[in-house]
């Protein structure tokens, strides 16, 4: 193979990996916009709206912890193809769902197969790309992911409005079938073979305990907010606590634990882990309820809601461009700036929502932009500081653990924040529920602000 053909194949591999990442990003954001429409069609009520986002994040987070290691053990090519095939089939299942249970199970499958697919892309590039090509490849990820974040919800709103072939919201999942089939065929042809290392040990039992913890916790929160805090919801939360104890026990006794015990002894890493858990839970839940409030509270269509939410993503992108120029000078204070800016946006949003008589859709535009602008200071930097003073041999494990926490906290946040939101909608209405949720989110932001001082002063180098 000559050099030109070799480079051509590498660019095709990069394109396939980017398609996989775009599929993941789209499906992690589209239900923010589509949840009310899906729930109405499938008669799933508030509970389905909560599970649509939480199920995907739950499965993605649990399987992401071992997804990369599965590729190391059985081969990245094999896991990537399995992940893409499974993601495509589960997307088809989502699009053809006829009841709430079918789409929830399909969303869980999407998250699980996505967690098998996504880590392999980076590993394939690192192993097979020359250094100069690798630098160019990584440069593509930021813009592509940013564009997906901005355009994903807008595209979802457009598809629902267009109602192509009378598919409505189903088209936001069915389009993945088209992307997935093409991506799989090309990936099968060009991805380099890798047999993996069968000697690598995987802690499936620990992953099972983590999965049990997340499932019972989310089920208890969602069940309690919809049907009252009955024995079932309390029992479920109790089971979550039991699985938490089992997971903690496993991590201290297993030879190859999911999270190295030495990491948890590091104050900076533990602070970053805690901060990430709270922050990403709050952010995920906030994005979800703003979209629901715009549609169910203010009567916006899915397309109008997606346009109204776009300033948030634009704010994230703009501040993400600014932050690299400040981070070396200000250190961890960039996170404090981000939290404070987000809190200002939340307060402005609260003031506007409190004026329920005069509030309009577009009057919320500036506050949503400010919220997003503040988020951009934190999203891309928080975990970089969490690994600021860990040893180089622990960086890979730390980065993988933090990525999984980001996904898991997303599931917890959607379940917890929507539970607060829906708890009082029937008796007090959407405006009161939104105000109550905003107060709790601002309190959580204050807690995050207090944790920042425990982070290392300087950031570390994230492992790709």
Task: Convert the pLDDT of each residue in 212-240 to its tens digit.
Answer: 998 998 889 888 877 778 888 899 999 99
Pair 301, 357: CB distance under 8 Å: no
Please tell me the predicted confidence (pLDDT) of residue 194.
Answer: 83
The rounded distance, in Å, linking the Cα atoms of 69 and 427 is 48
pLDDT tens digits in sequence order for the chain, 464 residues long: 455 566 788 899 999 998 998 888 888 878 889 999 999 999 999 889 999 988 998 898 888 878 888 888 898 999 999 999 999 999 999 999 999 999 999 999 999 999 999 888 888 888 888 888 877 777 777 667 767 776 778 888 899 999 888 999 999 999 999 999 999 999 999 999 888 888 888 888 988 998 899 899 888 988 887 777 888 889 999 999 999 999 989 988 888 777 777 777 888 888 888 998 999 899 889 989 999 999 998 889 999 998 888 898 889 888 888 888 888 888 889 999 999 999 999 999 999 988 865 677 678 889 999 999 999 898 878 777 877 777 766 665 676 677 778 788 888 888 889 888 988 787 788 999 999 999 999 999 999 999 998 888 776 544 44
The rounded distance, in Å, linking the Cα atoms of 403 and 20 is 17
Please tell me the predicted confidence (pLDDT) of residue 464.
Answer: 42
- Rounded to 10 degrees, the C-alpha dihedral 55/58/60/65 comes to -160
**What is the rounded radius of gyration, in angstroms, for the C-alpha atoms of the chain?**
21
Tokens describing residue 433: 């529920």
Please tell me the predicted confidence (pLDDT) of residue 30.
Answer: 84
């Amino acid at each position: 193979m000559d050099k030109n053909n070799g480079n051509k194949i590498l660019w095709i591999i990069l394109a396939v990996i980017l398609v996989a990442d775009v599929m993941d990003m789209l499906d992690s954001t589209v239900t923010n916009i589509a949840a009310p429409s899906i729930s109405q069609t499938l008669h799933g009520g508030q509970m389905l709206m909560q599970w649509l986002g939480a199920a995907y994040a739950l499965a993605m987070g649990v399987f992401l912890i071992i997804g990369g290691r599965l590729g190391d053990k059985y081969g990245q090519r094999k896991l990537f193809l399995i992940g893409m095939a499974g993601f495509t089939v589960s997307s088809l299942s989502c699009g053809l769902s006829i009841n709430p249970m079918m789409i929830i199970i399909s969303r869980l499958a999407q998250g699980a197969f996505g967690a098998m697919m996504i880590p392999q892309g980076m590993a394939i590039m690192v192993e097979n790309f020359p250094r100069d090509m690798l630098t160019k490849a990584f440069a593509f990820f930021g813009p592509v992911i940013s564009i997906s974040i901005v355009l994903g919800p807008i595209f979802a709103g457009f598809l629902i409005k267009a109602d192509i072939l009378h598919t409505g919201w189903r088209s936001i999942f069915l389009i993945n079938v088209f992307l997935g089939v093409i991506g799989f065929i090309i990936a099968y042809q060009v991805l380099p073979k890798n047999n993996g290392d069968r000697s690598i040990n995987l802690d499936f039992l620990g992953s099972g305990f983590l999965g049990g913890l997340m499932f019972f916790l989310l089920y208890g929160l969602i069940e309690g907010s919809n049907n009252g805090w009955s024995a079932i919801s309390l029992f479920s939360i109790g089971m979550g606590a039991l699985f938490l104890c089992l997971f903690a026990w496993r991590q201290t006794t297993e030879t190859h634990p999911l999270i190295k015990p030495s990491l948890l002894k590091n104050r900076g890493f533990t602070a970053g882990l805690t901060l990430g858990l709270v922050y990403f839970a709050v952010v995920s839940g906030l994005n979800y309820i703003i979209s629901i409030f715009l549609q169910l509270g203010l009567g916006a269509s899915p397309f109008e809601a997606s346009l109204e939410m776009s300033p948030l993503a634009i704010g994230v992108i703009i501040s993400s461009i600014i932050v690299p120029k400040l981070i070396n000078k200000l250190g961890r204070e960039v996170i404090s700036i981000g939290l404070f800016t987000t809190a200002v946006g939340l307060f402005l949003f609260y003031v506007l929502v409190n004026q329920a008589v005069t509030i309009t859709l577009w009057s919320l535009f500036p506050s949503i932009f400010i919220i997003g602008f503040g988020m951009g200071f934190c999203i891309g930097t928080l975990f970089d500081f969490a690994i600021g003073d860990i040893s180089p041999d622990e960086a890979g494990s730390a980065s993988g653990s933090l990525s999984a926490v980001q996904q898991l906290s997303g599931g917890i946040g959607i379940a917890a924040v929507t539970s607060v939101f829906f708890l009082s909608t029937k008796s007090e209405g959407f405006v009161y529920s939104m105000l109550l949720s905003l107060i709790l989110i601002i309190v959580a932001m204050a807690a995050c602000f207090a944790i920042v001082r425990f982070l290392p002063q300087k950031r570390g180098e994230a492992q790709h």
